[in-house]
Amino acid sequence: MPRTFDEEMEFLHRQTPYSWKIAKGFVPNMKVEGEFFVNKHLENLMLEELRHSCQGSTGGFLPGVKQIANVAALPGIVKSSIGLPDIHSGYGFAIGNMAAFDMDDPQAIISPGGVGFDINCGVRLLRTNLSETDVNPVKEILCQSLFDHIPVGVGSKGVIPMGAKDLEEALEMGMDWSLREGYAWAEDKEHCEEYGRMLQAEPSKVSARAKKRGLPQLGTLGAGNHYAEIQVVDEIFDKYAANKMGLEYKGQVCVMIHCGSRGLGHQVATDALVAMEKAMNRDNIIVNDRQLACAHIGSQEGQDYLKGMCAAGNYAWVNRSSMTFLTRQAFGKVFKCSPDDLDMQMIYDVSHNIAKIEEHMVDGKQKRLLVHRKGATRAFPPHHPLIPVDYQLTGQPVLIGGTMGTCSYVLTGTEQGMEQTFGTTCHGAGRALSRAKSRRKLDFQEVLDKLTDQNISIRVASPKLVMEEAPESYKDVTEVVNTCQAAGISKKAVRLRPIAVIKG
């Protein structure tokens, strides 16, 4: 018999003003506790979602608390299943849920639901030496130039020449391919997670169907919550960290690009889920939710997915690099100079949907872990060997994209985050309304009028996306970021304000 809300709440315990524990027993077979980070307002959203689920009124979606707990029941998980403040319902893992699995445990698993269908969906930030006053007179022209240069929307096709052999090389080489072909600068690679290349990638583990979907889409923005946005520095919280990133004054113009691996990544995930359903039956792996289909990391299916996922991750970096090239071209065309003259350097590129082999301390011992971050961002602290020399004293830059018309943030990683969340923080605002609800509740013209009132230029390929991606569809990104700072898992450096956005 289903438990009441009050009975469910007996398993949830507030630890600090910004964190809760989910005790074992909340769902069957929990190997570790769950944990989630929220402030008072976000906490109410989480608990209200749980209350609705007890009343059977969530439309079939599992609430975030249940999804965190179900992940805590997966074989080989260590420490706890962790939810970040932007958490919301997703396929298998909640979006904003991370978990780490012990590579030395033969029972430990890898799960496509812990990565997501848009493998290596991520964000990169470019700075410029332009100010808002330089851009304002040509803002509409610049916005149109970006829209003209970057293919956007469902079914969009790339303008970067690519044959089957090029695709194979891109899947293996990641940003090294972009660098060789002249679509990236050497400094770009230095300022990217994994230096823009997952070395475990094997293109042969990506199906012919996935490659067919990916071949025409390289250098395209896609639809959904993906965007290219012209932003300005609105507030500097940490002057030293901001200066290290080349963000020196309020009003300085930047460009943020948010996209992933498009149809190729989606197909890699879909193919793996089919294979893993069979592997689970063979290996007697029991999960609480069918969407958490998984395989032992060391199994053939686990290794095939890991290598295919890494190849899709490389594709995503090539995709973002191609759009960076097109963005630099668009700016150069409007300002009639080379991108070099505009100092269009990449500050950093972060991944939101990925699983990576990393070393972390667990119960006083150093362990090799497979860290799944779904809708979550790596946030390594100062002096970590895997972050660039430029950021050794500040910690890794963490790019938190806002919603259409709201601010974005640059954070830095902290030592406390390394200890509490395996060096992980939030990735954005997190949805508050489903896409269908957004379309029902919001008016297309009203959303556009609000953007106009904020002096934000917009180009969009599909009108329905305007409602789906409106700020009202999301949690407040400032509350999410402030919660991460208050909990000590990351630290605010810079706030960015949008002045123009292009979307699929």
Both tokens of 4, joined, read: 């009441």
The C-alpha atoms of residue 433 and residue 442 are separated, in whole angstroms, by 11
Is 384 part of the annotated catalytic residue set? no
Q: 64: annotated binding-site residue?
A: no
Q: Which amino acid is at 299?
A: S
Q: 404: annotated binding-site residue?
A: yes
Least confident of 21-35, 281-295, 366-380, 428-442: 428-442
Closest alpha carbon to 94 in 36, 30, 47 = 36
Both tokens of 12, joined, read: 């949830």
Q: Which amino acid is at 81?
A: S
For residues 94 and 87, is the Cβ–Cβ distance under 8 A? Answer: yes
What string of H, E and C letters represents the secondary structure of 291-326?
HHCCEECCCHHHHHHHHHHHHHHHHHHHHHHHHHHH
Say how many CA atoms lie within 13 Å of 462 toward its Cβ.
20
Closest alpha carbon to 258 in 353, 344, 185 = 353
The structure's pTM equals 0.96
pLDDT at 468: 74
Q: Write the pLDDT tens digit of every residue in 386-443.
A: 999 999 999 999 999 988 889 999 999 999 999 999 999 999 987 777 767 767 777 7
Topology of 121-503 in CATH?
Answer: tRNA-splicing ligase RtcB (3.90.1860)
Q: Where are the domains of the chain?
A: 5-105, 121-503
pLDDT at 58: 66
pLDDT at 492: 98
Both tokens of 152, joined, read: 């956007």
pLDDT at 474: 79
Mean pLDDT within 119-128: 98
Residue 60 in this model has a pLDDT that exceeds 70:
no
DSSP alpha helix (H) spans, 62-185: 64-71, 132-135, 139-149, 164-173, 175-181
DSSP alpha helix (H) spans, 224-299: 239-244, 262-283
266, 296, 372, 427: which one is catalytic?
A: 427
Higher pLDDT, 117 or 464: 117
Mean pLDDT within 186-203: 97
pLDDT at 223: 79
Both tokens of 257, joined, read: 């690009």
For residues 36 and 64, is the Cβ–Cβ distance under 8 A? Answer: yes
Q: Given 3-state DSSP classes, what are the helix, strand and coil percentages for the chain, each rounded to the nearest 5?
A: 40, 25, 35
Q: Write the pLDDT tens digit of every residue in 303-351.
A: 999 999 999 999 999 999 999 999 999 999 999 999 999 999 999 999 9
pLDDT at 208: 98
Residue 360 in this model has a pLDDT that exceeds 90:
yes
Q: 198: annotated binding-site residue?
A: no
Mean pLDDT within 27-42: 96
Least confident of 77-86, 151-160, 188-197, 328-337: 151-160
Cα pseudo-dihedral 477, 118, 197, 240, rounded to 10: 0
Q: 417: annotated binding-site residue?
A: no
Q: Write the pLDDT tens digit of every residue in 392-401.
A: 999 999 999 9
Range 474-495 burial, b when 16+ CB lie within 10 A, else e: bbbbbbbbbbbbebbbbbbbbb
Higher pLDDT, 156 or 111: 111
Closest alpha carbon to 374 in 71, 156, 106, 155 = 71
Q: 343: annotated binding-site residue?
A: no
Closest alpha carbon to 369 in 422, 427, 445 = 422
Closest alpha carbon to 353 in 166, 14, 116 = 116
pLDDT at 29: 97
Q: Write the pLDDT tens digit of every residue in 465-499.
A: 777 777 777 789 999 999 999 999 999 999 999 99
Residue 283 in this model has a pLDDT that exceeds 80:
yes
Higher pLDDT, 289 or 60: 289
For residues 307 and 202, is the Cβ–Cβ distance under 8 A? Answer: yes
Mean pLDDT within 114-142: 98
Q: Residue holding tokens 């932003």?
A: 231
Q: Average per-residue pLDDT in the chain? A: 94
Q: 503: annotated binding-site residue?
A: yes
DSSP alpha helix (H) spans, 99-217: 132-135, 139-149, 164-173, 175-181, 186-190, 208-214
Mean pLDDT within 196-224: 95
